[in-house]
Amino acid sequence: MSFQRTTLAALAASLFFALGSFAWAGEAYLTELEDLPLAPGLTEQAGGMLFESPTGRIVEATATGDLTTAQVQGFYQQALPQLGWEAQNGGYKRDNEFLRITIDGSRRTLVVHFSVVPQ
């Protein structure tokens, strides 16, 4: 009986974490960063920029929403490592790219700026 409960609890926990890992799978992605999901509650703003060069891409994008800084940080701290981004020097590194996410909470609506540069 105890074994069954333990097994059931382990399976439930595994399912919970697996579903949590794909929580953003149905969400929107940034236009210029097609492999970077928008945190639920953020809306991408027009005017993003993508420049590709032999050394890599340079991307700028902005999103806004009625979220807290902690909610946005928490989402990306969970999502980005699962997408191959490694936390490093106040941003995230993947392959030869460096992603910096800057959050401005001084306005009524939170402003999130995404920047990718070759490294």
Question: 10 Å Cβ neighbour count for 52?
Answer: 10
For residues 49 and 60, is the Cβ–Cβ distance under 8 A?
yes
pLDDT in tens, 93-105: 999 999 999 999 8
DSSP 48: -
What is the domain partition of the chain in residue ranges?
28-118
pLDDT in tens, 26-70: 578 999 998 899 999 999 999 999 999 899 999 999 999 999 999
Q: What is the pLDDT of residue 27?
A: 74
Q: Model-level pTM?
A: 0.76
Where do the H-state alpha helices sit in 1-119? 2-21, 69-82
Measured distance CA(101)–CA(96) in Å, rounded: 17
Average pLDDT, the chain: 83
- Could you tell me how many residues make up the chain? 119
For residues 91 and 99, is the Cβ–Cβ distance under 8 A?
yes
Q: What is the pLDDT of residue 98?
A: 97
